[in-house]
Amino acid sequence: MRTSTRLMLEWLVIGAAGLLAYFWLIPTQTTPDPFAALQPDFVPRVCVLGILLLGVIQAIRDFRGLQTAGASTTQPASWRVVAPVMAATFMSVLALELAGMAAAAAILVPVLMLVLRERRLLRIAVVSACCVLPFTPLFS
């Protein structure tokens, strides 16, 4: 069981990282485009706000103890789950830069399906093909 001090520290770190990303990191890594219908910083800012909102909700739930008796509690992710997701994301970003969108999706989709404990190889192949093949002409 996590203590209230540890919970407070976790949510302070998440909040600080989110605010840092929103107000400093995203503006320094994107440039405004006066002719774009959607500014390049829009999606990253929405994602950060979503993460912060979910963090606030989880922090309130943690501190108030709103989990019902007998309900499953959220456990921190194990490195057995986090490491393959991080590695697949890193490889996909490299593939995106070197070989394009289709190669990135061809790496990311099957690895994430395996992490989610999908073991039927035919289903992994079909879903991966459905995610990659229709978009290959668009991003080639």
Q: How confident is the model at residue 11 (pLDDT cuts 50, 70, 90)?
A: confident
Q: What is the pLDDT of residue 70?
A: 47
Closest CA to 105 of 82, 88, 117: 88
Domain locations along the chain: 4-64, 79-139
Q: What is the mean pLDDT of the chain?
A: 82
Please say if the pLDDT value at position 3 is more than 80.
Answer: no
Give the pLDDT confidence of 112-130 residue by residue, as tens digits: 898 888 889 999 999 989 8
Q: What is the pLDDT of residue 19?
A: 92
Q: What percent of the chain has pLDDT over 90?
A: 16
Closest CA to 23 of 46, 2, 45, 5: 45
Q: What angle do CA 49, 90, 9 make, to 5 degrees?
A: 45
Q: What is the pLDDT of residue 39?
A: 84
Give the pLDDT confidence of 24-62 residue by residue, as tens digits: 999 999 898 888 777 888 888 988 998 888 888 877 877
DSSP letter string, 24-91: IIHHHH----TT-SS-TTHHHHHHHHHHHHHHHHHHHHHHHT-PPTTPPPPPPPPHHHHHHHHHHHHH
Q: What is the pLDDT of residue 42?
A: 86
Please say if the pLDDT value at position 74 is more than 50.
Answer: yes
Q: What is the pLDDT of residue 75?
A: 61
Q: What is the pLDDT of residue 69?
A: 43
- Which amino acid type is present at position 58? Q
Cα 136 to Cα 44, 78, 100, 104, distances in angstroms:
25, 34, 9, 11
Pairwise CA distance, residues 8 & 59, whole Å: 8
Q: What is the pLDDT of residue 73?
A: 55
